[in-house]
């Protein structure tokens, strides 16, 4: 057989449709078409060399990475509904009928867990660890048994087995949280999550709104805060507290005096503004989970061996949707120790394959990677390797076994356990620069989604094979998404811009006992008005412009989207957190910046300024340097002059959930930030007006 015919017989084709032979011709000397081994007299060493070349060529052709075949045309990821370009559905659907269930036997969260139980049986389900120790696991069978026993106990204490029975849970992420949730679902009861940052008034509002008599807690301090409300007479329905942890005799006596029974789950069972009560149904959760499974169909499958790390608040739907997806396939969920500063140690120990994140955490990972490379040569090598991996991504190849992974990125991947297959980022838009960089360095699938509690976590999701950045994907198969006019902000649906509205099986029923707010959020046609501003891109994906309610005007009439500006400024090396503030009576913006303690001192030293972290925060020369750096980054990102901050205050303490400046999903509490920094804000405006 002729040499070229032999190669052509392998029948491999490249991503561009050309044969591998055509591509290989550029690497091999030109040979006549009539060339054959019999036409030449070759020495044994030449024949051996030619055979070695043929073997290497075959190995390369067989093992080279293949691009991912996307499930739809990536240039048309969503389809107009009835010809309306402003209203779109997933291109994965054959018609306008939205997806309700993926598996016929999983129409409730209880059904999904039962499916996982059938798959995994005695396999591991929920993981926990003590400091410095490996993870311990509770099996699916044990979880189901404990949920049954706890649910029976709730009934024995007067709870009714119907959806109108609300049971509160006031605890950090831990296995007992999930078991308590399943206990409620086993007997058709509804779970109401409570969390620390609600505040006194909001906590009382929820307890009374849902007429909650039973609350499950983790620690004594949370039980004490609930008893305080009862003692004041503001939560009359509260009559029983169940604690995961041991508690004192004093707490028991305090409860007895105010008519609250306090119980502990026995060791044999567990050894291991006013808020709105969004009513989420089992059907909402099933359709949302099913839609993600549908998008990943034939491309990515959750296996029984997969494990997710649980650290995002279970009081929010994002984390709970991740867990339901894992349970449905018999996979595992490992909980962090409850201390966010130990999260990276938990991740290294657990070695998760699934990693749900929010953009703030990915920004932090990005900053640590870039900040750790100090020499110009290593920095140049890092960026070259990233560009090579990004080139593979653009052709649809996602892998973690390239030469660049082995030489450069393996330590980065090992810092996150070394087993990651899937990362999902949600909660807020992420910088395209950060997303593209991490897709290259981490060597795993990173998807971006968008949604809110009222649509059961998600309404759009990245399409497999589309590794571009700057959008949040196309509509999920369970929902339609449309944009509506916002005339006073000059956003019009005819231009592909406007407020994002959602309708479908994942949209909630409304707010509990609050018809006014329900009417403001759900219109007569069933469309959920999100309050977010979006833009349709030519390929049918959605880009988030900003949060409608956070947009404000300056005194000269310019509209400001502060979260967009903050996302830009967090790309500055010395900046860890930033809060951008404006006033309709002022003509410019100011900011509050928390410098990154890991790089700030060295960054200032490079500019000839020496001092401790706290001293540098008070140094006017440092403030000027930070402001110049932020302005330069803002200009490079395309911020207009009026979108740039003109003055700032350097604050030495991080915004956090514990100090009330971040929500449990790590979003800024803008009202609280304005209140806390009101003095500094007033001082900056006074100084500039002098």
DSSP for 574-614?
TEEEEEEE--TT-SSEEEEEEE-TTTHHHHHHHTT----HH
Give residue 591's pLDDT band: very low, low, confident or very high (50, 70, 90): very high
Q: How many CB atoms lie within 10 A of CB 25?
A: 15
pLDDT tens for residues 377-415? 998 999 999 999 999 998 888 999 999 999 999 999 999
- 49 pLDDT band, cuts 50/70/90, is confident
Q: Taking 90 as the threshold, does the pLDDT of residue 373 lie above it?
A: no
543, 537 contact by CB (below 8 A): yes
CA distance 136 to 366: 31
The predicted pLDDT at position 315 comes to 80
Query: How many CB atoms lie under 10 A from the CB of residue 360?
Result: 20
Give the distance, in angstroms, between the CA of residue 646 and the centroid of all CA atoms in the same chain: 32
- Region 459-480: mean pLDDT is 94
CA–CA separation, 604 and 626 (whole Å): 9
pLDDT at residue 274 in the model: 61
pLDDT at res. 675: 92
Q: Which positions ≥6 away from 240 have C-beta within 8 Å? A: 157, 158, 213, 214, 215, 260, 261, 262, 263
pLDDT per residue as tens digits for the range 642-668: 999 999 999 999 998 888 898 777 788
Task: Please answer whether residues 473 and 460 qualify as being in contact, where contact means their C-beta atoms are separated by less than 8 angstroms.
Answer: yes
User: How high is the mean pLDDT of the chain?
Assistant: 87
Burial class (CB in 10 A: 0-12, 13-18, 19+), 636: exposed
Q: b/e per residue, 657-684, with b = 16+ CB within 10 A?
A: beebbbbbbbebbbebbeebbeebbeeb
The tally of CA atoms less than 13 A away on the side-chain side of residue 465 is 18
Q: Report whether pLDDT(268) > 60.
A: no
Say whether pTM exceeds 0.85. Answer: no
Beta strands in 321-475 (DSSP E): 332-335, 354-357, 422-425, 445-450, 460-461, 474-475
**Six token digits for residue 21:** 């032979």
**pLDDT category, 275, cuts 50, 70, 90?**
low
Q: Quick one: pLDDT at residue 42?
A: 63
Task: Write down the pLDDT at residue 561.
Answer: 84
267: pLDDT strictly greater than 70: no
What is the model's pLDDT at position 1?
A: 40
88: which strand partners?
80, 481
**Predicted local confidence at residue 24, as pLDDT:** 41
**Mean pLDDT across the stretch 162-188?**
95
Q: How confident is the model at residue 5 (pLDDT cuts 50, 70, 90)?
A: very low
Provide, rounded to the nearest whole percent, the portion of the chain with pLDDT above 90.
66
pLDDT(178) > 90? yes
């Amino acid at each position: 057989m002729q040499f070229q015919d032999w190669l052509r017989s392998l029948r491999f084709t490249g991503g561009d449709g050309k044969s591998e032979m055509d591509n290989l011709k550029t690497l091999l000397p030109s040979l006549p078409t009539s060339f054959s081994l019999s036409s030449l007299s070759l020495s044994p060493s030449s024949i051996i060399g030619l055979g070695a070349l043929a073997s290497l060529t075959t190995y390369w052709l067989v093992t080279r990475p293949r691009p991912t075949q996307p499930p739809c045309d990536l240039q048309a990821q969503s389809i107009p509904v009835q010809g309306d370009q402003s209203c779109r559905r997933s291109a994965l659907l054959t018609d306008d009928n939205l997806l309700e269930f993926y598996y016929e036997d999983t129409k409730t969260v209880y059904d999904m867990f039962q499916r996982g139980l059938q798959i995994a049986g005695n396999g591991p389900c929920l993981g926990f660890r003590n400091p410095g120790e490996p993870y311990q696991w509770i099996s699916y069978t044990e979880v189901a048994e404990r949920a049954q026993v706890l649910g029976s106990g709730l009934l024995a204490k007067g709870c009714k087995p119907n959806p109108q029975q609300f049971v509160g849970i006031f605890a950090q992420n831990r296995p007992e949280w999930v078991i308590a949730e399943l206990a409620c679902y086993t007997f058709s009861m509804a779970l109401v999550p409570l969390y620390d940052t609600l505040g006194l008034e909001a906590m009382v509002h929820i307890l009374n709104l849902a007429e909650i008599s039973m609350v499950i807690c983790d620690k004594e301090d949370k039980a004490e805060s609930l008893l305080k409300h009862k003692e004041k007479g503001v939560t009359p329905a509260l009559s029983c507290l169940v604690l995961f942890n041991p508690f004192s005799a004093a707490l028991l006596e305090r409860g007895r005096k105010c008519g609250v029974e306090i119980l502990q789950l026995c060791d044999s069972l567990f050894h291991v503004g006013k808020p709105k009560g969004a009513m989420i149904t089992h059907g909402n959760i099933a359709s949302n989970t099913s839609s993600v499974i549908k998008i990943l169909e034939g491309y990515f499958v959750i296996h029984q061996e997969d494990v997710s790390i649980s650290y995002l608040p279970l009081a929010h739907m994002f984390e709970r949707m991740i867990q339901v997806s894992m349970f449905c396939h018999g996979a595992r969920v490992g909980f962090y120790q409850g201390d966010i500063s130990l999260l990276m140690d938990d991740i290294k120990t657990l070695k998760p394959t699934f990693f749900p994140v929010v953009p703030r955490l990915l920004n932090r990972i990005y900053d640590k990677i870039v900040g750790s490379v100090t020499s110009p040569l290593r920095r140049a090598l890092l960026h070259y390797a990233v560009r090579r991996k990004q080139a593979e991504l653009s052709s649809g190849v996602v892998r973690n076994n390239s030469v660049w992974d082995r030489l450069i990125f393996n330590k980065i991947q090992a810092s996150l356990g070394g087993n990651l297959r899937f990362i999902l980022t949600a909660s807020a838009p992420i910088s395209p620069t950060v997303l593209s960089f991490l897709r290259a360095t981490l060597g795993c699938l990173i998807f971006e989604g968008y949604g809110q509690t009222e649509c059961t976590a998600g309404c759009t999701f990245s399409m497999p094979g589309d590794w571009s950045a700057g959008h949040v994907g196309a509509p999920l198969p369970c929902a339609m998404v449309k944009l509506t006019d916002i005339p006073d902000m000059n956003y019009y649906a005819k231009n592909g811009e406007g407020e994002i509205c959602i309708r479908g099986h994942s949209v909630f029923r409304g707010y509990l006992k609050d018809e006014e707010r329900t009417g403001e959020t759900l219109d007569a046609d069933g469309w959920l008005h999100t309050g977010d501003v979006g833009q349709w891109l030519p390929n049918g994906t959605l880009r988030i412009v900003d949060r409608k309610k956070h947009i404000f005007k300056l005194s000269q009439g310019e509209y400001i989207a502060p979260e967009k500006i903050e996302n830009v400024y967090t790309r500055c090396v010395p900046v860890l957190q930033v809060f951008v503030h404006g006033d309709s009576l002022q003509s410019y913006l100011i900011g509050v910046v928390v410098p990154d303690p890991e790089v700030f001192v060295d960054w200032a030293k490079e500019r000839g300024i020496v001092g401790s972290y706290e001293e540098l925060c008070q140094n006017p020369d440092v403030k000027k340097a930070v402001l110049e750096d932020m302005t330069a980054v803002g200009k490079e990102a395309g911020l207009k002059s009026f979108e740039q901050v003109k003055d700032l205050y350097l604050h030495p303490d991080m915004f956090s959930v514990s100090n009330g400046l971040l929500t449990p999903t790590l979003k800024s509490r803008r009202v609280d930030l304005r209140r806390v920094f009101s003095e500094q804000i007033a001082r900056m405006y006074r100084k500039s007006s002098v």
